Amino acid sequence: MLANMEKRTLLTVITEAVIEQSLLRDLEKHGVRGYTVSDARGRGSRGIRDAAWDEVANIRIEVICQRAQAELLLAHIRDQYYTDYAMVAFMVEIDILRGEKF
Amino acid sequence: MIDVVVLFFLFGLLAGLARSELKLPAALYESLSLILLLAIGLKGGEGLAKQALSPLLPQLGAVIVLGVLQTLIAFAILIKLGRLGRSDAAATAAHYGSVSVATFAVGANWLMTRGIDFEPQLAIFLTVMEVPALIVGIMLARGVSKDTDWRALAHESFLGKGVTLLMGGMAIGWIAGPEGLTPIKGLFYDLFKGALALFLLEMGLIVSRQIGELRKRGAFIISFGLLMPLFSGLLGLGCALLLDLSVGGMTLLATLAASASYIAVPATMRLAVPEANPALSLSAVLGITFPFNIMAGIPLYHYLAVQLAGAF
């Protein structure tokens, strides 16, 4: 095991590209210091989302933060978006270096 | 005789239905739509440079009223006859009150192929008619005062990709004038048909994916997708007659009125009215209305425009 490893939580949200701006604003409001957004494709209860054009494009947003903050974010995302948008969100515990960044 | 660009659409449709592996790169589709939007803007701006702008204002007022009226009528039909919920009806009505750039491009190409002129302000009508239906649709779904974020929505609707490119193209065309545009004509005018053909190939593929959804939706939404554009087309012809447009202008305004948005409106409605089912509106717009307009609608609106212009 490396020295100085710390535990953090990785929150991953896979959802419709159309709400990217709105979600990122929410993250910033919750004090998230950094995130990664990538384009995604897949299939789920809302059908095939193959990114063939804008309306069926997905994104994946990843945030590394403290467990408590991740739980707040996940609860907010559930209340705000789960009913109306194609969305999967989950958290995992991860080991990181440079704990002061997250 | 079917226009060659429409054959590309049919090719894409058949390839998609046959589940071919054919797929255009997303970046190409984006680039083609950029070229088409700029070309339409440039052509409009170039034409406007040759005429006074002040007589245009009442005309813009008229096409805004046209867009609002179409949205309200579509909403009433969807609620009363289609028994859709309020949100679904409002979102779908907004699609039909707004316009489709692709349909406009096919219509303009249809006229140009036959050497029929149309007024340059049709490009402005295209830009202006994108927006009112969005606002009316959101108001129908939400009511006026509640927690709608109007600032964000205004930003979405007025600075969306389509409106921005059309306005930018028009401004450049207007400032540069016909001579200034000569060096870039190769890309935007001469290649217009080729770009449109490739764009429609992708549209065919996109439409082919709506067919399965359409099967689930049943007869009402299919007949709405066919009859609403006919009705809106007639409204458009009436409006064009009031504005004293040429036969080409009448045809294109009817085409605009009959067309339904499948880019700007779905994206904005997804944000503003999230509980509305986007698959419902898109299956009607893409599965029925778009193919109907580019294959049968445009020649029909032209035929009616010729009859009307003869009668008055």
Partner-chain contact A18 B271, CB within 8 Å: yes
What does the angle CA B296 – CA B301 – CA B306 come to, to the nearest 5 degrees? 130
pLDDT lower than 70: segments of chain A: 1, 47-55
Looking at residue A77, its pLDDT comes to 94
Looking at residue A52, its pLDDT comes to 56
Looking at residue B144, its pLDDT comes to 65
Looking at residue B143, its pLDDT comes to 77
Alpha helices, DSSP H, located in B81-210:
86-97, 101-113, 122-129, 132-142, 150-158, 161-181, 185, 192-208
Looking at residue A49, its pLDDT comes to 65
Q: In chain A, which residues have their Cβ closer than 8 Å to the Cβ of B206?
A: 52-53
Domains of chain B: 4-12+24-311 (1.20.1530.20)
Cβ atoms of A64 and A97 closer than 8 Å: no
The values of phi and psi at residue A38, to 5°, are -135, 155
Instruction: Convert the pLDDT of each residue in B9-39 to its tens digit.
Output: 999 999 999 999 998 888 898 899 999 999 9
Where residue B115 falls among pLDDT bands split at 50, 70, 90? very high
Query: What gap in Å lies between CA B76 and CA B187, rounded to an integer?
Result: 44
Query: What gap in Å lies between CA B309 and CA B301, rounded to an integer?
Result: 12
The 3-state DSSP class for residue B139 equals helix
Q: What mean pLDDT comes out for the span B117-130?
A: 92
More confident residue, B312 or B136: B136
Partner-chain contact B278 A52, CB within 8 Å: no
In chain A, which residues touch B (CB < 8 A)?
A: 16, 18-19, 22, 47, 51-55, 81, 83-85
Cβ atoms of B170 and B44 closer than 8 Å: yes
Q: In chain A, which residues have their Cβ closer than 8 Å to the Cβ of B278?
A: 55
Instruction: Convert the pLDDT of each residue in B135-152 to its tens digit.
Output: 899 899 887 656 667 777
Q: CB-CB: which of A19, A47, A55 is closest to B271?
A: A19
Domains of chain A: 6-101 (3.30.70.120)
Cβ atoms of B282 and B205 closer than 8 Å: no
Looking at residue A8, its pLDDT comes to 94
In chain B, which residues touch A (CB < 8 A)?
A: 23, 26, 29, 202, 205-206, 209, 262-263, 266-267, 270-271, 274-275, 278-279, 282
Cβ atoms of B125 and B300 closer than 8 Å: no
What does the angle CA B166 – CA A49 – CA B36 come to, to the nearest 5 degrees? 20
Would you list the DSSP string of B236-296? HHHHHHHTT--HHHHHHHHHHHH---SSHHHHHHHHHSTTS-HHHHHHHIIIIIHHHIIII
Q: In chain B, which residues have their Cβ closer than 8 Å to the Cβ of A47?
A: 279
Please give the share of chain B, as a percent, with pLDDT higher than 90: 69
C-alpha dist (Å) from residue A5 to A10, A11, B229: 15, 19, 63
Half-sphere CA count of A8, side-chain side, radius 13 A: 19
Query: What gap in Å lies between CA B156 and CA B145, rounded to an integer?
Result: 19
Cβ atoms of A78 and A26 closer than 8 Å: no
Among A73-82, B77-86, B153-162, the least confident range: B153-162
Looking at residue A45, its pLDDT comes to 73
Q: Which residues contact B287 (CB under 8 A, 6 or more apart)?
A: B207, B210, B211, B213, B214, B225
More confident residue, B49 or B157: B49
Please give the share of chain B, as a percent, with pLDDT higher than 70: 98
Q: CB-CB: which of B29, B270, B275 is closest to A53?
A: B29
Q: In chain B, which residues have their Cβ closer than 8 Å to the Cβ of A86?
A: none
Half-sphere CA count of B249, side-chain side, radius 13 A: 21
Mutation site for A-interface testing, chosen from B22, B203, B270 by largest number of A Cβ within 10 Å? B270
Query: What gap in Å lies between CA B119 and CA B44, rounded to an integer?
Result: 8
From A54's Cα to the closest Cα of chain B, the distance in A is 8
Partner-chain contact A54 B205, CB within 8 Å: no
Query: What gap in Å lies between CA B47 and CA B124, rounded to an integer?
Result: 11
Please give the share of chain A, as a percent, with pLDDT higher than 70: 89
Q: In chain B, which residues have their Cβ closer than 8 Å to the Cβ of A18?
A: 267, 270-271
Q: In chain A, which residues have their Cβ closer than 8 Å to the Cβ of B205?
A: 52
Instruction: Convert the pLDDT of each residue in B221-253 to its tens digit.
Output: 999 999 999 999 999 999 999 999 999 999 999
Q: Which residues contact B58 (CB under 8 A, 6 or more apart)?
A: none
From B113's Cα to the closest Cα of chain A, the distance in A is 29
Nearest residue on chain A to B278, alpha-carbon basis: A55
Q: CB-CB: which of A19, A52, A55 is closest to B278?
A: A55
Instruction: Convert the pLDDT of each residue in B245-299 to its tens digit.
Output: 999 999 999 999 999 998 888 888 888 888 898 888 989 999 999 999 999 999 9
Q: In chain A, which residues have their Cβ closer than 8 Å to the Cβ of B266?
A: 55
* pTM listed for this prediction: 0.87
